[in-house]
Amino acid sequence: MAAKKKSVLARRVNELEDAVTRLFTGEGPAPKAKAKKRRKAKRKAAPAKAAKKAAKRTKKAAKKVAKKGARKAKRKARR
């Protein structure tokens, strides 16, 4: 069975109990535990995604214009 993580309140209670015990026994203060650093959440590459989408849209529009030009030229050639 994995050890259950103590709540912040439970940890604080244990710290205070320890501090009071040390006060009456004449021991020095307990060494402070180092707090774990939190890792920053990785952000999604939204700007890159938006740029890719814009490039795709531009390409599609250019293709549409080229197709329209080709059709116009074909019509003119038939006349």
Please report which residue ranges of 1-79 form alpha helices under DSSP H.
8-25, 46-78
Contact assessment for residue 19 and residue 32, using Cβ atoms and an 8 Å cutoff: no
Say if 29 falls within a structural domain. no
Residue 64 belongs to domain spanning: 45-79
Query: Which has more confidence, 27 or 2?
Result: 27
pTM to 2 decimals? 0.34
Say if 33 falls within a structural domain. no
Task: Give the model confidence (pLDDT) of 26-66 as tens digits.
Answer: 887 777 767 777 777 776 667 777 888 888 999 988 888 88
Contact assessment for residue 30 and residue 19, using Cβ atoms and an 8 Å cutoff: yes
Hunting for tokens 């999604």 — which residue is that? Answer: 44
Say if 11 falls within a structural domain. no
Say if 3 falls within a structural domain. no
Number of structural domains (the chain) is: 1
Say if 5 falls within a structural domain. no
Say if 10 falls within a structural domain. no
CA 36 to chain CA mean position, Å: 19
